[in-house]
Amino acid sequence: MTWERARSEEQKEQRIAEIIDATARLYETHSFEEITFVLIAKEAQFTRSNLYKYFNSKEEILLEFIKQDIVIYRKDLVATLKAGNIRSVKEFAEVWVALQEKYERLLKLLSILHNALEKNVSIETLTEFKRGAKEELFFIAEALCGVFPKLSIEKSAHFLLLQMATATGLFQMADLSEMQRQILDNPEFAVLKMDFAATFQETVEYLLNGILGH
């Protein structure tokens, strides 16, 4: 009985992985609005009814997608901070922004998290997601305290929430369509053009200096 149950759970995890992989492939060439439950089922070679055995909406699938990406990002970030020999807020901001750009897919998904992804899932799914996100937040906050010992865990967590709000907002302003880019290339609108990396780095420095009391 135990062996059968373990095998069934293994099969379930494999099916979920197949769905996540299929969604990842679609997300490389389709926008969030273009991806549908039917399209995911087709890409994963599932029937729609079989897909419903694992997820109830495309938003639930993408939340699972984000959970996995956050864990990968956190591990990379913590390892980078521990090995970085960071000596200043400016050096930290450079490393921080470079990692954000490295995980552009995660940043793009986080930018639609609150106004799209979280609005079509069950309260149980959302609660589980928030619980996992909170745990990852404090893992990163602890690593941040290791770089800046003057920071408390609470202030580190506060910084992380502030920088995420900034990063997702800036990303939406910088993630432009071809038509938007053409318009902003016009010198008339140069003042409206946003450089994500430069602006985000400046903001991270301001936030961290403020929290550190510099």
Q: Into how many domains does the chain fold? A: 2
Q: Is the pTM of this model over 0.75?
A: yes
Query: How far is the C-alpha of 172 from the C-alpha of 9, rounded, in Å?
Result: 38
Q: What percent of the chain has pLDDT over 70?
A: 97
Q: What is the pLDDT of residue 11?
A: 84
- Give the model confidence (pLDDT) of 94-122 as tens digits: 999 999 999 999 999 999 999 999 999 99
> What average pLDDT does the segment 16-29 reach?
93
Task: Please give the residue range of the domain that contains residue 164.
Answer: 58-212
**Same structural domain, 98 and 45:** no
**Same structural domain, 36 and 137:** no
- Domain containing residue 48: CATH number: 1.10.10
**Same structural domain, 13 and 84:** no
Strands (E), the chain: none
**Same structural domain, 8 and 43:** yes
- Domain containing residue 189: CATH number: 1.10.357.10
User: Is 185's pLDDT higher than 80?
Assistant: yes
**Same structural domain, 150 and 92:** yes
**Same structural domain, 82 and 63:** yes
- Give the model confidence (pLDDT) of 56-103 as tens digits: 999 999 999 899 999 999 999 999 998 878 889 999 999 999 999 999
